[in-house]
Structures are given as C-alpha cells and as structure tokens.
Structure 1
C-alpha cells in the first residue's frame, strides 16, 4: 500500500531509461508508485518536473530527481544491498563505460530509431514508420549483439564477475526491442542465455507485465525461457 512517503516514478513503459530505474528500484526492493508521463500530450508537466524535458523523474525524499544514470547510482548508494556498482575503481569504470555505451551509442543507433518509428509514431498518431530508419537500426543491432557476445565469452556478466548496473542498462534497452520482437536472439546463444538469466530475476516481473495500448508484445516476450 502506497503512503505519502512512497517514491513516485514518472515514466513511460517502453523507455529504456525508465526501465533501467525501475529495475534498480525493484532489485533494491524499494516500493515505488509508477505514474505514466505522457510527455507528448498537451498539459504534460514534464518540464515542471525536469527542466531538461526528459523522463524518468523520481520523486523521493521530497526531491525530484532526473537523469537515469545519476538516479541509479544514487539508489545504489542509499540502498547498498544488493550492490550494483563494484568496489574497485577500475571495475566501476567498466560499468559506467557500458552504461554509456547503451544509453548513448546503442540508443542512437538502435533503440531510438526503431522505437520512434515502430512504436511512438503509432502511439502519438504521428504518421507511418520510416522503413529506412527501422532497417538501419536492425542492421546496427547485429554489430552490438556481436560485441556483447564477445564480452560474455570472457566474463560471467557484461562488466565482470558480478551482476551490475551495466547488465540492467543493457537489459532495459534490449527488453524494449524484444517487446516488438526486434532482437535477433538466434544470432547469439550466449547473449540469449544472459538475457534469459537477467529477465528471470524478480526485478524484471513488472517489465514483463507491461502493455502498450495498441501494440501487442511478442509471444515470447514474457516467457522466462526462450
């Protein structure tokens, strides 16, 4: 049951940045109230909550917090169990490097073009998908799959020997694409097994229950084992 002090997350279901924060909150067992922020509609208060005009925004302890990476690292510091950032400085660097890889490079090349064309245009009633942009994103994801496979062939988790924020950041992006069946899991059994392990965690349950009106998730989306 929510109380006046329950944290509130302003989010949308298929935002990788919102999903990343949701995963950390759930992993830390921090109860949160989810509030859909339809930022594209007239009357949205997203700019009041975050002058940068971006989501997610977390209301917690009387503060409004923005920027998913900053939020996640804050949560890891105030709720250190289980830890999602390693102890060693070099290991923390690797986690942050991979978070930036997904939030910047992967998002620009894959997540944003594919979701913008295949999901958000439909949700916002903004016209038809640009097939060239979709195809470009789907070509790019193959190179990213190969890169991640190379990492996982020498590591248990993406950034090293323990589950970290890098894994949740990657899974947040890939889960958005998997909702619309746009990840070629047959290309890498190694990556598919890693993703199956991550999405089997209790923290993933609320993501697998997401439903975007008018867009049906892929049949395998909520299955814990492909």
Structure 2
C-alpha cells in the first residue's frame, strides 16, 4: 500500500489525495507538520514540504506536481475513460496550465496565506514562526480569492469542467485549494453562481468524502464545509 505523507489542510496534499481517491488507490496517510523540519522528513524531501508519496516499491516521490505526473504515468492508463490527464495534446496543455494556476498562483495569492496564518502558525512553536495570525495578510487573501472564483465561474460557464468536457487534474487542483478556504470560512460562495455549482459537483464525488471528514484540532470547519448542497 502506498504511503502519503501529508497535512490535512495542505492544499497540495489534498490535490494528491483527491487523485488517489478518484483512482481508487488505497493509501496509508501519515500526517506531517512540515514547519517542525524533522530530519527524517527532510531526508525524504529536502524541500521540507508536503506531500511526499512512498510507493509500494519504496520509491519516494516528492512534490505535488511530480506526484501527479507519477500517478498518471503509473496508474492513468488503467483508468481508461476515467483518466484524469487527457490524451489529447491541447487538452493536456490546458489541464497543466490550470493545475499550475491553482498550485502556484492561487496558492501564492490565497491558500498559502490563509492556511499559514490560520492553521500552521497556530500549531507551530515560536522559533518555527508560530503565533497569532496576521489579519492584514488574511484580509488580502480574502480579497484575492474573489477574482479567482470569478475565473472558475467563467471557465465553467463555457465548459462542462474546468479544462474541457471531462473531469481532470485541473478540477481537483482547484477544488483542493478552494476547499481549504472553505474549511476556514473564507470561500466567497456568493461571488459567482457558476463556480459554486461546479464546486458542488466536485464536492459530491466519492473521492471528496475523506476530505470532508478532516478536522484541524480546535478548529471548527466553516458553515458549508461538509454540506453537499449549500
């Protein structure tokens, strides 16, 4: 059984968990607080970031983008029509573009700030950057998420799914990051109705159920986090 070293509210970890769940890959989860910089973890990923996948043969695959490509190369073909990376070249390009949009741009502008300020700093020691959240940073992230939601709404207004007519890595990358904002009560669901309906469809998939059961100690999830129809 593969092992995924993750953090429950790390959006990149959630992206990989959604892929593995969608493909029906039973996985052992090990929670890691990367800010502690444990030597054992740094030996697996010197970058000191989650997620890290350890496959059945002991191969260590570090980083969300690398893991996603690895899963496609090792499990994608067996999924047939349910493959999450399209075969068509143009569709693959668009899928990768949107995965980068959410894993890099959305992360830099929204989810990294929200999760770091409201979750990671809460549990980190002072020497590891812990402390009270900087609400100025949180307010900027809350403002930044709105145009992203409108962009999701634009894409799902002209396509069935984010990258085209089929569910893909792009949908799970976006949903992983937005779900963190949703858990923290910072997803503006009144910003765009099309984005909301798209998220409801992704959220209703069986692959999403384990994420809806996640809880951060001492932190109650947002009002709509576990609701499929909201």
> What interval of TM-score do these two structures reach, taking the shorter chain for normalisation?
over 0.9
- Name the CA distance, whole Å, in 2 between partners of 1:109 and 1:38: 22
Any stretches of 5+ residues in structure 1 without a counterpart? 1-5
Q: Which deviates more from structure 2 when the two are superposed, residues 154-163 or residues 47-56?
A: 47-56
Q: CA RMSD in A?
A: 1.2
**Native 8 Å contact 1:46 1:55 kept in 2:** no
The Cα offsets for residues 26-69 of structure 1, whole Å up to 9 and x where unpaired, read as 11101100001122236452211112211111000211111111
Residues 178 and 113 of structure 1, relative CA distance in 2, 3 Å threshold: same
Whether 1:98 and 2:98 are equivalent positions in the alignment is: yes
Q: How big is the shift at 1:220?
A: 1.8
**Native 8 Å contact 2:37 2:48 kept in 1:** no
- Name the CA distance, whole Å, in 2 between partners of 1:175 and 1:189: 16
Whether 1:38 and 2:42 are equivalent positions in the alignment is: no
- Name the CA distance, whole Å, in 2 between partners of 1:138 and 1:55: 24
Q: Which deviates more from structure 2 when the two are superposed, residues 113-122 or residues 189-198?
A: 113-122
Partner of 1:214: 218
**Native 8 Å contact 2:20 2:26 kept in 1:** yes
Q: How big is the shift at 1:73?
A: 2.0
Q: Which deviates more from structure 2 when the two are superposed, residues 48-57 or residues 172-181?
A: 48-57
Per the normalisation by structure 1, the TM-score is 0.94
How many residue pairs match? The answer is: 221
Per the normalisation by structure 2, the TM-score is 0.93
Superposed counterparts of 1:1-226, under 5 Å: 6-41=1-36, 43=38, 45-60=40-55, 61-80=57-76, 81=79, 82-124=82-124, 126-226=130-230
- Name the CA distance, whole Å, in 2 between partners of 1:196 and 1:72: 23
**Native 8 Å contact 2:15 2:176 kept in 1:** yes
Q: How big is the shift at 1:223?
A: 1.2
Q: How big is the shift at 1:219?
A: 2.9
More helix by share: 2
Structure 1 residue matching 2:30: 3-state secondary structure: strand
**Native 8 Å contact 1:19 1:172 kept in 2:** yes
Any stretches of 5+ residues in structure 2 without a counterpart? none
**Native 8 Å contact 1:153 1:190 kept in 2:** yes
Partner of 1:3: none
Divergent runs of 4+, >6 A: none
